[in-house]
Amino acid sequence: MTASDLSTSTTAEGVSERTAAHIDATERHAAHNYHPLPVVLARGEGAWVVDVDGKRYLDCLAGYSALNFGHSNERLVAVAREQLGTLTLTSRAFFNDKLSGFAEALTRLTGKDMILPMNSGAEAVETAIKVSRKWGYEVKGVPAGQATIITMEGNFHGRTTTIVSFSDDDVATSGYAPFTTGFRSAKYGDIEAIAAAIDETTVGVLFEPIQGEGGVVMPPEGFLTRLRELCTERNVLMIADEIQSGLARSGKTFACDHEGVVPDIYIMGKALGGGIYPVSAIAADRDVMDVITPGSHGSTFGGNPLAAAIGTEVVAMLEEGTFQARSAEIGEQLTAGFGPLVGQGLSDVRVRGAWAGIDIDPSLMTGRQMSEALMARGILAKDTHGSTVRFAPPLVASDEDVAVLVTAVTEILAAARA
């Protein structure tokens, strides 16, 4: 008997037999590197998804911002389908007829001279680290083997061994030592601490304009501007991880745009593939990117025709500006809805575009409990760091969709306080 043959009768755990079968098979055969909510999704359209039992949910996570343009976006699906029937992979051993257009489009969007395409966000971060170190040795003149990069406390850039080497999350680091050296941590948003950490070996400052995993944490106003000035003054690369914050999520094309700041290296991923396919890249000017030479870095799938075709369409959609504008509108609605809840069950609210982090009074409930209560009401979200919950609905969410979320959070908090 397969899962599709099962009835929708519920188990002792309160889920249907069909849902339980999928969860059991996943838990038995896939490593437990996530602790997902007990919902099994089968299809999606726009801002909504449907589980195997036919129940609809408003998706307020959007694949950690990978689905900025919504599920099954017609334009992106059409491009992907067309490319699937022609050519999907060549490797970079050969040129292909889609990478040229993608590279041209993405350099135009970022204002940079060149891109280096990869697949996952973590690969893009690793690429930025490698490029920065090589630039430090070949251009800045840092002695061989001594390059350092300043990172931020509370950061999240991925899960590779090198990246977790500069994480301060015990869960992410426990059991994975020894770690990669060459990183120094500074307090996020503290320009004086960053300045003090820079010396003649420093090649770059790696940061998130908004710390997504931390709960949509924003630095003090003016920090990005001062960081740009500091990096220029001290001849170090300003490396902006815009994997979650970029591509319209914050109400601007890039979160750095909120202060009119242009980093030396943009790191992009997630929404660059439209939630359809893993696409990532870094973008920098020629004086930085020219340190990469044939054979010094690569990826079999990086820049493949399918990825490039999807990425080109993503850029075209962003250049229209409608998604940035819609993100800003959603942000105004979230601010108006969540703001009055501070002191009424919330201790803090942070909103930037269609991205919000709420800190729940821990005496009422945990973030996981809030996420479970929302799921019961047909809304999917994800907790982080105890009593914090993040919301990142697709940018195609309607005003009515956002109102559903605000109402649900309001009512759940009211019930918890009663």
The catalytic residue positions are 156, 241, 270
Distance between CA atoms of residues 78 and 302, nearest Å:
21
Picking from 9, 38, 44, 43, the residue whose alpha carbon sits closest to that of residue 22 is 38
Asked whether the bond before 178 is cis by omega within 30 degrees of 0, the reply is yes
What b-and-e string marks burial along 150-174, b requiring 16 or more CB atoms within 10 Å of the CB? Answer: bbbbbbbbbebebbbbbbeeeeeee
Q: Which long-range contacts (CB under 8 A, 24 or more apart) does 398-401 make?
A: 398/47, 399/329, 399/333, 401/47, 401/48, 401/58
Q: Work out the number of other CB atoms within 10 angstroms of the CB of residue 93.
A: 7
Extract the tokens encoding 257.
Answer: 């745009």
